[in-house]
């Protein structure tokens, strides 16, 4: 059953809702659709699934780009309503005829919608009946049962003949387990009828033992033989394994000195080491985070010419017709007009290291937003498509929430608790190095920082972080290796609360997104400590792998968390940005997949090489 259908403008003004349906929607599916699909350039998708406590909806929508209207239908996800797409198209056609920009109430559309709905439901019912009539001669109940029984017996005989006694022994063991659990093949084996009559019992075929399908006596004899063989084999294995257990290998001792039981070199360094380390906070200078980056405003006429050369949408038309169309304007843009320019833009995005899947979705969303729109006078299709793509990219890369960490730190300080940042990511992306850059930037703003060495897995990780802490003259909390990182982080936060530290920077072990034990440990760390910010550290060098990393990290954190509202990635730190030249597409791919903003960009080896993401510069580079 259709839950709701509503019409609103792209500015957010609701023009009409179906009063006949009337039932209030649970949760906020419309707001979620606008926030996650329409504003993030995912409008090219076929549908959107919304899930909330006590609510599970599917939303479908369509646009009237010329009038700036959005038509949305909401129904229960468990239902498969075949008439929703047809109904939306009919409603769009009828409502566009009576739409007036000066009018805000459309009560007279209720009767029209009632007729359209009945017509769409009738079409769907006729289509369903026609499909049933077409498929009816194929499914004959009696013949189907005979074929299934015959196939089952032949399959059983064939399995016996091909696999021999060993396969029969496996079947016997399976039967023995079923008998011990209180079941037998004559009671619970069944074949599902294709006509929808439930489960058809196959008891008759099993009782006909003279066919050789299931001979219980023979199977029991084989079972007894197989059991004896397995028992003897097991006893032989035990007897052979006993002498090996007694002879244990001893560690070789080269000298008379005692052997080290554990290779852990994380003991605190002596005082001489601290004296040799020099303070770099005053030497490195100002961090690039506090410097404004100027973007040169060059003319984009050359870019438009390149897109026009790549697209060539009017090759079959004469120059007079093309000139007349550019002066008078095209009536309505259709998909054929947009395809050449969109293909050129997609290729350009992919050359800038944007993931192919993301480039396709962006072009589809831009095509959906432009289809049916009237082309203005003295305007080319290529420039219109590029302007729409530029607007979409700016909307995606611009953070939708505040990313002012310094303000959040002061708010947490007023509550007498430290601000906790957890750095996560795959192996070798530079988490520890960029953690030190963030610490250096915070020190310049008079913030008390403490590091927490929670990478207890990689050899040398604690020493690396300790070196950064000594150079920056900030405290570090460490417990060595082979410890539970969640417990180490919890103790570090408690220590920071006692010492009055403002920020705790938690370093974690690098892990691949499909490593379940390490992902489970990370999920436990986040759940147990509830950090204020979870930063994903990713390389700017990755292409299609960025989609896989971000999506699986979020999915694993959600699946492995024991909380009903799991914490996901809050922000992105993009590293090695100085090595990619104009291949800046990884930033777009990561933001599009996760919805999290890029909060820091690492662009060098020193502590000052950390800056903010310049959205205008990225968009200009992507479309250059």
User: How many CA atoms within 13 Å lie on the side-chain side of 573?
Assistant: 26
pLDDT band at 267 (very low <50, low <70, confident <90, very high): low
| Band of residue 64 on the pLDDT scale cut at 50, 70, 90 | confident
Residue 507 pLDDT grade (very low, low, confident, very high; cuts 50, 70, 90): very high
For the packed helices 585-594 and 615-623, what is the interaxial angle rounded to 10 degrees?
110
Most confident of 46-60, 66-80, 253-267: 66-80
Structure-token pair, residue 164: 């021999």
Distance between CA atoms of residues 426 and 509, nearest Å: 8
What value does the mean pLDDT take over residues 511-521? Answer: 88
- Residue 238's contacts (CB-CB under 8 Å, 6 or more residues apart) are none
pLDDT tier at 262, thresholds 50, 70, 90: low
Q: 440 versus 160: which is more confidently predicted?
A: 440
Of 212-221, 345-354, 464-473, the poorest mean pLDDT is in 212-221
Q: What is the pLDDT of residues 400-430, one digit of tens each?
A: 877 889 999 999 999 999 999 999 999 989 9
Give pLDDT, residue 247.
Answer: 59
Residue 229's H or E segment, with its range, is: helix 216-246
- 544-597 tens-digit pLDDT: 787 788 888 888 888 888 888 888 899 999 999 888 888 888 889 889 888 899
Lowest mean pLDDT, pick from 301-310, 419-428, 527-536: 301-310
38 against 88, higher pLDDT: 88
Nearest to 545 by CA among 602, 589, 594: 589
- State pLDDT tens for residues 144-179: 444 444 444 444 444 444 444 444 444 444 444 444
Phi-psi region of 254 (alpha: psi -120 to 50; beta: other; left: phi over 0): alpha
The pLDDT of residue 217: 57
Q: How far apart are CA 472 and CA 6, in angstroms?
A: 58
Q: Which of 67, 63, 13, 5 has the alpha carbon at shortest distance from 38?
A: 63
State the pLDDT confidence band at 258, using cuts at 50, 70 and 90.
low
pLDDT given for residue 328 in this prediction: 44
Most confidently modeled range among 12-26, 242-256, 272-286: 12-26
Q: Does 113 score more than 60 pLDDT?
A: yes
**Residue 484 pLDDT level (bands cut at 50, 70, 90):** very high
**Residue 312: per-residue pLDDT:** 44
- pLDDT score of 412: 93
Q: How far apart are CA 603 and CA 613, in angstroms?
A: 11
317 Cβ contact partners less than 8 Å away, ≥ 6 residues apart: 325
Tokens 């030249």, located at residue: 581
Which carries the bigger pLDDT value, residue 523 or residue 283?
523
Residue position matching structure tokens 């090489």 = 609
Between 66 and 163, the higher pLDDT residue: 66
DSSP 428-472: TS-HHHHHHHHHHHHHHTT--EEEEE---SSTTHHHHHHHHHHHH
* φ, ψ at 449 (rounded to 5°): -115, 145
pLDDT at position 445, please? 92
Q: Are 173 and 223 spatial neighbours (Cβ–Cβ below 8 Å)?
A: yes
- DSSP class of residue 425 equals E
pTM beyond 0.85 = no
The confidence band for 41, taking pLDDT boundaries of 50, 70 and 90, is: low
Looking at residue 330, its pLDDT comes to 55
Cα distance between residue 616 and residue 393, in whole Å: 9
Q: Place 472 in a pLDDT band, splitting at 50, 70 and 90.
A: very high
Torsion of CA 460, 463, 469, 471, to 10 degrees: -100
């Amino acid at each position: 059953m259709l839950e709701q259908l509503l019409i609103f403008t792209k500015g957010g003004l609701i023009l009409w809702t179906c009063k006949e349906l009337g039932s209030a929607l649970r949760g906020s599916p419309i707001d979620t659709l606008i926030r996650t699909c329409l504003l993030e350039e995912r409008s090219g998708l076929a549908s959107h699934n919304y899930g909330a406590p006590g609510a599970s909806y599917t939303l479908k929508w369509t646009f009237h780009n010329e009038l700036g209207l959005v038509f949305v239908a909401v129904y229960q996800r468990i239902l498969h309503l075949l008439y929703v797409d047809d109904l939306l198209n009919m409603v769009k056609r009828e409502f566009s005829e009576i739409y007036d920009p000066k009018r805000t109430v459309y009560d007279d559309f209720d009767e029209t919608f009632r007729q359209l709905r009945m017509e769409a439901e009738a079409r769907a019912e006729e289509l369903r009946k026609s499909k049933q009539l077409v498929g009816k001669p194929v499914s004959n109940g009696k013949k189907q049962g005979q074929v299934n029984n015959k196939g089952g017996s032949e399959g059983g005989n064939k399995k016996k003949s091909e696999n021999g006694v060993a396969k029969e022994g496996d079947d016997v063991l399976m039967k023995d387990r079923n008998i011990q659990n209180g079941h037998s093949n004559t009671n619970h084996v069944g074949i599902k009828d294709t006509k929808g009559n439930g489960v058809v019992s196959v008891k008759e075929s099993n009782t006909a033992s003279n066919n050789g399908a299931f001979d219980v006596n023979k199977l029991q004899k084989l079972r007894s033989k197989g059991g004896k063989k397995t028992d003897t084999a097991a006893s032989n294995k035990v007897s052979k394994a006993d002498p090996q257990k007694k002879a244990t290998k001893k560690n070789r001792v080269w000298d008379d000195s005692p052997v080290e039981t554990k290779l852990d070199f994380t003991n605190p360094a002596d005082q001489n080491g601290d004296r040799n380390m020099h303070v770099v906070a005053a030497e490195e200078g100002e961090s690039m985070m506090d410097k404004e980056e100027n973007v040169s405003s060059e003319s984009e006429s050359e870019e438009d010419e390149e897109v026009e050369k790549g697209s060539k949408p009017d090759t079959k038309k004469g120059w007079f017709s093309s000139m007349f169309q550019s002066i008078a304007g095209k009536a309505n843009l259709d998909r054929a007009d947009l395809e050449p320019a969109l293909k050129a833009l997609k290729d350009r995005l992919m050359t800038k290291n944007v993931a192919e899947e993301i480039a396709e979705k962006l072009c589809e969303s831009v095509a959906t937003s432009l289809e049916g729109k009237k082309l203005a006078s003295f305007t080319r299709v290529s420039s219109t498509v590029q302007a729409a793509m530029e607007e979409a990219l700016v909307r995606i890369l611009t953070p939708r929430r505040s990313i002012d960490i310094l303000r959040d730190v002061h708010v947490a300080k007023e509550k007498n608790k430290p601000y906790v940042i957890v750095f996560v990511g795959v192996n070798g992306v530079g988490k520890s190095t960029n953690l030190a850059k963030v610490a250096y930037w915070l020190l310049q703003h008079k913030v008390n920082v403490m590091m927490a060495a929670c990478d207890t897995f990689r050899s040398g990780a604690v020493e690396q972080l300790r070196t950064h802490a000594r150079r920056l003259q900030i405290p570090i909390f460490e417990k060595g290796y082979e410890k539970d990182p969640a417990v180490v982080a919890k103790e570090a936060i408690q220590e920071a609360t006692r010492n009055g530290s403002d920020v705790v920077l938690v370093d974690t072990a690098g892990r691949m997104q499909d490593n379940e034990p390490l992902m489970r440990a990370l999920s436990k760390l986040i759940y147990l400590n509830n950090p204020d910010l979870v930063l994903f550290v990713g390389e700017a060098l990755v292409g299609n792998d960025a989609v896989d990393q971000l999506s699986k990290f979020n999915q694993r954190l959600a699946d492995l968390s024991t909380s009903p509202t799991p914490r996901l990635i809050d922000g992105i730190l993009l590293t090695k940005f100085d090595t990619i030249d104009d291949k800046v597409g990884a930033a777009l791919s990561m933001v599009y997949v996760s919805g999290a903003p890029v909060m820091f960009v690492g662009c060098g080896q020193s502590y000052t090489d950390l800056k903010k993401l310049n959205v205008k510069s990225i968009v200009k580079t992507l479309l250059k």
